[in-house]
Amino acid sequence: MKLLKQSVMWFGVCCLLMVGLNVSAEEKKKVWGKDRSITQITDSVYRFGSDGQYGAYILTSEGIILVDGHYCQSNTTQWLKSELDKRYDVPVKYVVLSHDHQDHICHTDIFNDTAITVGHRNLLPHILREKRDSAVPSVLFNDEMDIVLGGVKVVLMFFGPTHSDNLIQVHIPEEKVLIAIDMAKGKSIFPDYRDMEVNNTLEVLKKLANLPDVDIVLPGHGPVKTQQNFIENGNYIKALRDGVLDLMVEGKSLDEIRKLIKLENFDDFKHKERWFDTNIVTMYHYLYRYREPNNRITPEEATECRDTRNCRTSGEINI
């Protein structure tokens, strides 16, 4: 376990490695592509998915606007293409990528024969650098973009870095639907904050909770929700942030904080116990970069930390 005793700057990497190992073991046993479904939500909006994860599409008289693909292992994106070809006489005209995480956008390139791929401008470097198994967007936008197809208006909105620096929201105002992939998490604490801009996420959750013309919220995971979902998620993130920050200001180490903050303080979230510790670690990592303590690290301490990994903020991760 000595290899795990590293400075806080290595905690995010450790979490990813450990979680990756756990997921790989589970994936070997898992049967993918279970419970595939397509559900009509409103006149134009449909939800598709399997394995508890979902994307969506908007059907119009002139074509289809698809939002995201699916897990690579599920082959649900390929299944969806076959279903769309069988059900409709119009092609997929646009593929909208909600963000760069491959589990949501895998195999979207199979629509390249008919579709233009759209995403936020920050998404492209992630797609290229990580070599995502995904369509590569040819249309990029900054803050907001409208797609009007067959008389249906779809609004793509970026509110700044939240869950990644390129996550967007997809709004169909006339049908009062908001597609909020990986943002409408409610009482789920999965997975962690390794690439989240926490403070801005809290502000954006408030905006989404009060966004007009929204009756239905379609998350990337779990059942259909309402805007109350954003409030619940914001309450949890804020409580965890404030709890970790207060203890940091008191001078507590990460190991101490991990012992002091208890899941029972968040009773409604007990069903996600396995992720609570990584929530604390990655929140600490975020706040470590957010604040400047009065007792600054000395040059000697910095050198020792660099050379020996004997750091003031060191701790051991046990997941």
pLDDT digit string, tens, across residues 83-117: 999 999 999 999 999 999 999 999 999 999 999 99
Within-domain flag for 21: no
Q: Which residues, other chains included, contact 204 with Cβ-Cβ below 8 Å and sequence gap of 6+?
A: 159, 160, 162, 183
Same domain, 135 and 190: no
Q: What percent of the chain has pLDDT over 70?
A: 84
- For residue 282, what are the CA distances in angstroms to 181, 275, 285, 288? 21, 11, 5, 10
- The tokens describing 273, both together, are 């116990």
Tens digit of pLDDT for each residue in 151-205? 999 999 999 999 999 999 999 999 999 999 999 887 777 767 888 999 999 999 9
Q: What is the mean pLDDT of the chain?
A: 87
Per the structure, the count of domains in the chain is 2
pLDDT at 262: 81
Please tell me the predicted confidence (pLDDT) of residue 25.
56
The predicted pLDDT at position 313 comes to: 58
Higher pLDDT, 34 or 59: 59
Q: Which domain holds residue 248?
A: 183-213+223-296+313-317
- Asked whether the beta carbons of 192 and 275 are under 8 A apart, the reply is yes
Is residue 174 within 8 A of residue 146, CB to CB? The reply is no
Phi, psi of 172 (to 5 degrees): -115, 85
Rounded to 5°, the CA angle 126-208-119 comes to 25
Instruction: Tell me: do 94 and 204 sit in the same domain.
Output: no
Task: State mean pLDDT over 219-234.
Answer: 94
- Give the whole-angstrom CA distance, residue 85 versus residue 92: 9
Is the separation of the CB atoms in 274 and 192 below 8 Å? no
Residue 288 has pLDDT above 70, yes or no: yes
Higher pLDDT, 249 or 186: 249
Question: Could you tell me the sign of the dihedral formed by the alpha carbons of 233, 239, 242, 245, in that order?
Answer: negative
Domain boundary among 181, 204, 237: 181
Highest mean pLDDT among 1-10, 30-39, 66-75: 66-75
pTM (2 d.p.): 0.83
Instruction: Mark whether 163 and 204 lie in a shared domain.
Output: no
Q: Is residue 24 part of a domain?
A: no
Query: What pLDDT does residue 15 have?
Result: 43
Q: Which of 181, 197, 231 is the last residue of a domain?
A: 181
Does 304 fall in a domain?
no
Residue 15 in domain: no
pLDDT of 3 > 50? The answer is no
Tell me the average pLDDT across 51-63. Answer: 97
Same domain? For 147 and 231 the reply is no
pLDDT band at 309 (very low <50, low <70, confident <90, very high): low
Q: How confident is the model at residue 70 (pLDDT cuts 50, 70, 90)?
A: very high
Per-residue confidence (pLDDT) for residue 24, from 0 to 100: 52
- State the maximum Cα–Cα separation within the chain, in Å, rounded to a whole number: 70
Answer yes or no: is 101 within a domain. Answer: yes
pLDDT at 254 over 50: yes
Q: Looking at residues 47-58, what average pLDDT do you find?
A: 96
Are 95 and 117 in contact by the 8 Å Cβ rule? The answer is yes
Q: Is residue 177 part of a domain?
A: yes
- Domain C-terminal end among 129, 164, 181: 181
Q: Do 46 and 150 fall into the same domain?
A: yes
153 in the same domain as 45: yes
27 occurs within a structural domain = no
